[in-house]
């Protein structure tokens, strides 16, 4: 058996809140950088398509929405490896790591096929939801191309979980830099037809995304081989593979990850439903080129970019809480959660001010089409209002996941988004005549409701130390 990896300094138990903050940032800042790099792939697509023709950005927005709806449950399932791996490493149980890695990769393969099949009739889904006819074919083409990107996305997430649990962030940073450079070049070549290539618009952006997903998976294996290699080489043992891929532990991992997948799907679903409703408003009141969808896509991309910072903090908090749970250290568990929550709220206060004060220059970075620009300038300040709630809820989810609580975020999403936020948004959009802005105000209310509920549950969960998660 390969020797256990040396502990990273970040795994040292903190002695005070200040010490915890330093260790959280040591672990969390590279994760934040990786998350920002991940979403910047889509940011480049949005920015370049916004300067293409008027229909490209809204068509990509619809296709991208369908793609993430299809993959989000699968993505959440494999994310269940985060607390399993961090708690195992905190407990110094390194023997379980290759088995968990094999199960995550097996689920990635098994879940990719049904997710891909959901995207093949993309045009049918778009017509059923009443989207502008001019956008349906390019949006469906984009979604169908994304079927080829599902497996590398899930496998990348599995390998990332192991590297993060070991506090090995360098390979992830290197891979993200490589992926972004390749995506920028491919987008420039394929969207606009430079270098003698045909001008493919939305389809070009889709091809670039698929290519970069596979490139990033290969890059993560190469750059992270020193840390991934020992676990992967152990899978050459037939007895270990049989134990790892036995039905019972695979089923337990799927059951453990299903609530995470459902939570991801519910959260993504409410934003996807909002996009679908805005697309229907464009059809009824627009010119068929989707100015509402374009403004929504720009605003959502900016909100997604700022969201990556507390998401990275929450992922780091999940690892640090998991380490503390694995060690059986309740005081360190409480310190990790407390510091992460306050850090997330502080960071998002800054983003709130940027969104509220800089809506016009932010929107102008993405498009010069007047209707799309006006819609983005209307929605960006609303996104600014929900920044703090968004940050607090995602850090709370990370802390709860580190504790092993996968179910509370699902309930919070159902109540906050689907029973409060979306109905309120529809009432404001259609009843009060606020249109897309009303839908975004509903999202804002839902986000704050989710944040308040999760913080309340987290306070209760931190009063007692929960047992370590296991699937063996």
Percent of the chain clearing pLDDT 70 (strictly above): 96
- pLDDT for 10 beyond 70: no
Residues 281-294 pLDDT 10s: 877 665 555 578 88
Residue 449 is assigned to a structural domain of this protein: yes
**Within a domain: residue 163?**
yes
> Using one digit for the tens of pLDDT, what is the confidence trace for 215-254?
999 999 999 999 999 999 998 899 988 988 999 999 999 9
For residue 472, what are its two tokens?
């063996």
pLDDT in tens, 57-81: 888 888 988 999 899 999 999 998 9
In a domain, 4, yes or no: no
Total number of domains in the chain: 1
Cα dihedral 230/252/257/413 (nearest 10): -160
> If we measure between CA atoms, which residue out of 265, 266, 292, 297 comes closest to residue 279?
292
- The whole model's pTM is what? 0.84
pLDDT at 11 over 70: no
Portion of the chain with pLDDT greater than 90, in percent = 62
In a domain, 468, yes or no: no
Residues spanned by the domain of 316: 18-461
What pLDDT shows up at residue 5?
45
pLDDT of residue 4: 43
Provide the 10 A C-beta neighbour count for residue 446.
Answer: 28
In a domain, 316, yes or no: yes
Instruction: Indicate the pLDDT class of residue 317, thresholds 50, 70 and 90.
Output: very high
Q: Would residue 472 count as lying in a domain?
A: no
pLDDT digits (tens, 9 = 90+) for 356-378: 999 999 999 888 888 889 999 99
Indicate whether 8 belongs to any domain: no
Is 5 inside any structural domain? no
């Amino acid at each position: 058996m390969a020797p256990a990896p040396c502990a990273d300094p970040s795994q040292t138990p903190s002695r005070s809140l200040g010490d915890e903050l330093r260790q959280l940032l040591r672990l969390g800042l590279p994760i934040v950088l990786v998350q920002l790099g991940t979403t910047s792939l889509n940011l480049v697509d949005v920015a370049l398509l916004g300067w293409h023709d008027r229909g490209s950005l809204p068509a990509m927005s619809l296709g991208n929405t369908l793609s993430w709806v299809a993959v989000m449950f699968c993505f959440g399932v494999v994310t269940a490896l985060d607390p399993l791996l961090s708690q195992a490493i905190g407990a110094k149980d390194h023997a379980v790591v290759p088995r968990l890695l094999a199960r995550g990769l097996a689920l990635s393969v098994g879940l990719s096929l049904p997710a891909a099949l959901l995207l093949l009739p993309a045009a049918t889904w778009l017509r059923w939801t009443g989207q502008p006819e001019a956008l349906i074919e390019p949006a469906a083409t984009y979604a169908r191309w994304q079927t080829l990107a599902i497996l590398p996305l899930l496998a990348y997430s599995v390998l990332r979980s192991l590297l993060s649990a070991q506090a090995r962030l360098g390979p992830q940073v290197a891979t993200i830099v490589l992926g972004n450079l390749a995506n920028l070049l491919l987008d420039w070549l394929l969207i606009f037809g430079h270098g003698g290539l045909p001008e493919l618009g939305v389809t070009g952006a889709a091809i670039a995304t698929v290519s970069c997903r596979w490139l990033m998976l290969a890059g993560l294996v190469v750059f992270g081989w020193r840390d991934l290699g020992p676990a992967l080489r152990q899978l050459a043992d037939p007895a270990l593979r049989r134990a790892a891929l036995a039905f019972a532990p695979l089923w337990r991992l799927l059951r453990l990850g299903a609530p995470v997948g459902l939570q991801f799907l519910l959260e993504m679903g409410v934003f996807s439903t909002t996009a679908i409703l805005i697309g229907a408003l464009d059809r009824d009141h627009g010119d068929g080129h989707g100015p509402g969808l374009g403004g929504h896509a720009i605003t959502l991309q900016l909100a997604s970019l700022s969201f990556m910072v507390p998401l990275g903090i929450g992922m780091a908090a999940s690892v640090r809480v998991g380490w503390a749970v694995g060690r059986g250290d309740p005081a360190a568990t409480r310190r990790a959660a407390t510091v992460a929550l306050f850090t997330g709220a502080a960071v998002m206060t800054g983003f709130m001010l940027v969104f509220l004060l800089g809506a016009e220059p932010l929107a102008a970075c993405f498009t010069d089409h007047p209707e799309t620009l006006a819609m983005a300038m209307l929605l960006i300040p609303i996104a600014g209002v929900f920044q703090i709630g968004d940050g607090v809820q995602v850090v709370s989810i990370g802390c709860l996941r580190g504790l092993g609580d996968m179910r509370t975020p699902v309930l919070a999403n159902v109540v906050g988004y689907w029973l409060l936020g979306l109905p309120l948004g529809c009432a404001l959009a259609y009843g009060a005549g606020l249109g897309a802005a009303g839908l975004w105000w509903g999202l804002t209310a839902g986000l704050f409701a989710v944040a308040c509920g999760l913080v309340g549950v987290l306070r209760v969960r931190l009063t007692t130390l929960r047992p370590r998660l296991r699937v063996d």
